[in-house]
Amino acid sequence: MANDKLQKKKLYALSSENRQFSFNLPLKHSIKIGKREYDVKLKADEKLGTYILWKNRKYPVEIVKSRQNKYEILFNDISYTFTVETPFSLQRMKVLTAGKGKATTEYVKAPMPGKIIDILVREGSTVQRGEAVVILEAMKMQNEILSPANGTIVKISARPGSNVMKDDLLVEIKP
């Protein structure tokens, strides 16, 4: 009982900033800028590793991390994270996010007792998911406490040099 609906004709790349790019299948090595299409080539050599050849110039590219359909790549020394979506999964995402209300405030808490060494953000500054916000020294190690979401810092409860207990509030982030 093969299902033709699952045969893919298109794939999408969804960046962490919610920008969407579509690609027709089978993949062609070309990119569209405005209305013009350019040929690009994906190549590899000993010196640069994998690189993209465009207009006779080489741009190194590296897959830093991949987990199923999530990728982090390094291109021209800038890191990009994105997911690869099929038409069905993209539609599913829209259906599921439509039913949900606004995301609530995220509370960053101390994962273990320790001492605050440094606070890397200020109230009002924006953070990305996975960015370090606080350095907590515990077990004689400096632990980076990471932001669980993209958002803005609304309140900082921790002070550098102070001791905190497990589950003490450190930072509040509004998405």
Binding interface with other proteins (CB under 8 A): 1-3, 5-6, 63, 66-69, 83, 86, 88-89, 92-93, 95-96, 111-113, 137-144, 166
Nearer to other proteins, 91 or 162 (CB): 91
164, 107, 106, 155: which is closest to 135 by C-alpha? 164
Nearer to other proteins, 32 or 70 (CB): 70
119 touches 134 (CB < 8 A)? yes
158, 166, 73, 175: which is closest to 117 by C-alpha? 158
Minimum distance from residue 93 beta carbon to other proteins (Å): 8
Nearer to other proteins, 6 or 27 (CB): 6
Minimum distance from residue 152 beta carbon to other proteins (Å): 23
Q: How far apart are CA 15 and CA 21, in angstroms?
A: 8
Question: Is residue 52 packed enough to be buried (19+ CB in 10 Å), middle (13-18) or exposed (0-12)?
Answer: middle
Minimum distance from residue 142 beta carbon to other proteins (Å): 5
Minimum distance from residue 124 beta carbon to other proteins (Å): 28
167 touches 158 (CB < 8 A)? no
Nearer to other proteins, 49 or 75 (CB): 49
